[in-house]
Amino acid sequence: MPLPQVIVLGIVQGLSDFLPVCSTAHLYLTSWLLGWQTESLDFDIMLHIGTLLAVLLYFAKDWAKIIAYGFGVRLGRTSELHYNQVLLWLLAIASIPVGVAGLAFNKQAESTWRNPFVIGGMLIAVGVLMAIAERIGRKTRELASLNGADAVTIGFAQALAVVPGTSRSGITISAGLFRNLDREAAARFSFLLSTPAIAAAAAKTLWDMHKAHHLHALITTNFVIGVAVSAISGCVVIAWFLHYLRRNGFAPFVYYRIIFGIIVLALAFIRRPA
């Protein structure tokens, strides 16, 4: 894959994976419109590792506390995480549905569902769902109050993200809002929950490359640059988005998704993907 393509798609991945706009849609449409082929395993693992590094780097201290508290070990100063010492196990419970959905529907998600009609429809549908969640969610609860029912609800919502166009962050944040979490708490749990999902996807792709005897293909300058670009842009987006949510709502993202979805559907009728 040419270096300019690696950089562009790494930036697109980092920017869109953590915003509620769907990275799959943006990567697919970017490649489709520019006539790029991006179906290689090394490309998939590059993006997965980049976004995984972003959440691990940004939430490193949080993850250290979550793991320590989960096993009854006090770590660092008292924080919001200290008041929810079962958060590690809630994240584990919430990760189960997407794992099952990924195993059951991986082939469809990578083939028949990855078309502009499905992507455009889901962009609009989830945008409308986000607007409803923003409107009716009371936004009165913090991460410390998150419980098993919240974890199960958000976990099943994340399972829907196997459908291209959904957006993992968009659907899980919406589920958090429906459970009356405030915006920042819903987003933080969404990002933390993405860590095991992305790690599992990366592990699966690495295993597929191992079976195909292609692991040596990762030792390239382009691969390292792609991972770095995706990770850095992802960290920047996470920091900006959490800051943004302290004072602002999701209306701009709702409008963006609906307009973008309409454009995708219009393009699908005008031209067919190669």
C-alpha triplet 183, 19, 196: angle, nearest 5°: 85
* Eight-class DSSP state of 181: B
Q: What is the pLDDT of residue 42?
A: 64
How confident is residue 272, by pLDDT bands cut at 50, 70 and 90? low
Mean of pLDDT values over 251-273: 88
- Least-confidence region, from 33-47, 141-155, 200-214, 252-266: 33-47
Q: Do the beta carbons of residue 250 and residue 134 sit within 8 Å?
A: yes
**Residue showing tokens 């994976």:** 17
- The residues, ordered by sequence, that sit 6+ positions from 142 with a Cβ below 8 Å of its Cβ are 80, 181, 182, 185
Look at residue 133 and tell me whether its pLDDT is greater than 90: yes
| 3 state DSSP class of 141 | strand
Percent of the chain with pLDDT over 90: 59
Q: What is the pLDDT of residue 77?
A: 73
Percent of the chain with pLDDT over 70: 96
Query: How far is the first Cα of the chain from the last one, in angstroms, to the nearest whole number?
Result: 18
How confident is residue 40, by pLDDT bands cut at 50, 70 and 90? low
Pairwise CA distance, residues 250 & 273, whole Å = 31
pLDDT for 222-249, tens place per residue? Answer: 888 988 999 999 999 999 999 999 999 9
Which amino acid is located at 147 in the chain? N
Q: What is the pLDDT of residue 114?
A: 84
Look at residue 125 and tell me whether its pLDDT is greater than 60: yes
- The residues, ordered by sequence, that sit 6+ positions from 124 with a Cβ below 8 Å of its Cβ are 257, 258, 261, 262, 265
Look at residue 154 and tell me whether its pLDDT is greater than 90: yes
Which is more confident, 175 or 7? 175
| 3 state DSSP class of 179 | coil
Mean of pLDDT values over 200-216: 79
Tell me the β-bridge partners of 181. 141
Mean of pLDDT values over 188-198: 94
- Count other Cβ atoms within 10 Å, centred on residue 255: 12
H helices of the chain, in order, are: 3-16, 23-34, 41-58, 60-70, 87-110, 116-136, 148-159, 168-178, 183-211, 221-245, 251-270
Mean of pLDDT values over 4-15: 89
* Structural domain boundaries enclosing 99: 3-270
Q: What is the pLDDT of residue 41?
A: 57
Q: What is the pLDDT of residue 54?
A: 95
18 burial level (CB within 10 Å; 0-12, 13-18, 19+)? buried
Look at residue 78 and tell me whether its pLDDT is greater than 70: no
Q: Whole-prediction pTM value?
A: 0.91
Q: What is the pLDDT of residue 25?
A: 82
pLDDT for 157-179, tens place per residue? Answer: 999 999 999 999 999 999 999 99
Q: Do the beta carbons of residue 23 and residue 13 sit within 8 Å?
A: yes
**Residue showing tokens 């940004």:** 58
Q: What is the pLDDT of residue 209?
A: 77
Cα-based distances in Å from 5 to 14, 137, 191: 14, 40, 26
Q: What is the pLDDT of residue 187?
A: 96
Count of structural domains within the chain: 1
Look at residue 148 and tell me whether its pLDDT is greater than 70: yes
Mean of pLDDT values over 106-123: 89
Residues, the chain = 274
- Count other Cβ atoms within 10 Å, centred on residue 71: 8
Q: What is the pLDDT of residue 269?
A: 85
